[in-house]
Structure 1
């Protein structure tokens, strides 16, 4: 009998404050892990390269990065950070530099798409090839996969910046520097703190601000349902995970917003349709492992997350 072993992959989750590097075959076979502060690009990427130099024998590299990033293969900016508020990082080449340094096939996508891939393979969406992952924390981001691969086009999704219908009488201007009262400007952690003067994890469950947060997030889930893609929505991030009372409110808000449209049993069973993550803080790094693993696949040239081969 022939047994197969998952390939050893190096994964990089590049976050706004820290970078997590792991060497793994999966969640139960993590051989090494290191954390690096995200500082200036040259300093951070040099530290990542030093970690990769110490890790020999991996077959591929996966990178799950904070955004916005350029994922359009036709663009000369492909593999780079786009315009970001993080000082010094706009235009930084991530994928090409690390692929060339490691010399192995490299997958590259957003951290939230990475989390979606990991939760679909090993976590709250295990067994489902069509999934949405929503993070509600410092910002709001959404990653979607269909058929086990990211839903890609000209760019990655930015559903954290759609504009929801407001609650009657709620005219707070919001906290997004671009759009004011978009999803992120109404429901992300900094928005909640700006509106109430209290961090989300310390805000009482009966505070009226939660009505606006749940109303907005319910509409985000409504929008995801209307894409026709996710068979489940996994919601993580500090705001969701730190406030379990928010889940039933978001589920109810989505149901109300849908108004009976798309009457599928999977969606009607909201407790199993909108769920917390299983992998927690490991979803991003393990998503990078999935990106690297998929870069090795026989059809890797047809999927949007593959960047290039260092070989």
Structure 2
């Protein structure tokens, strides 16, 4: 009984540490990325973003995927950049490609993937993640899922800072202040979603032991890959931790196909991200997002087992 209490205290401590860490990290990331996007929007007109990410000739989809691959965002920090694309009225399909590809193909994951699993497996992962992201973006656009974007997502929050109405002698710093005020207003609208998602994800992280994940997703279990894909979504794992954790699970007996599914499920989506997306998308679009990530995770897992 005493040992159990110690275990529970350790789990509680780990949960609280994860909550504090994620709350600070994601707050800083959200504010920094939102501000950066605000600066970009100040200097790059929306029309130019629309042209670059136009999906009419197919090039825009791949540009969006490559943009996702070079931006070191996790699933949650992708959201403010997505908000900026929405307000710039970039193509819906290309925005979806960026949403799917950015957390899965960021440089941190690709680098750790290559070191841990080798170049051949990394190339396989990259092709699956990029290919499914592009196909999903095109498909959702063709099916008219843009109607499930909330109208207010296209509108930037009004800044309370001093603008042109302050007179011609307003200091040059006022535009930076205006961008910050807009960023802060945007952050306050998503703060309840952010805190709620972090709390749920931290509880699951702290109280779900890796031994349990490995046992239900062993190579002998036919449902190992679907289970790993589903378990990965609530098990929010940072990019720096998902690959080492996956290697540890593989060492404990988890099948490599299930490991692949877990990586995509955990890196591609999280409860925190899903809750944050509720401030942008209607339920139908959130459901479609989850279907794409789960399908990608299972496709990668089964394909990996078949090829390798």
Question: TM-score if structure 1 supplies the norm length?
Answer: 0.28
Higher radius of gyration, 1 or 2:
2
Task: Determine which structure has the larger helix proportion and give its number.
Answer: 2
- Using the size of structure 2 for normalisation, the TM-score is 0.28
Q: Which protein, 1 or 2, shows the higher relative CO under an 8 Å CA cutoff with sep ≥ 6?
A: 1
More strand by share: 1
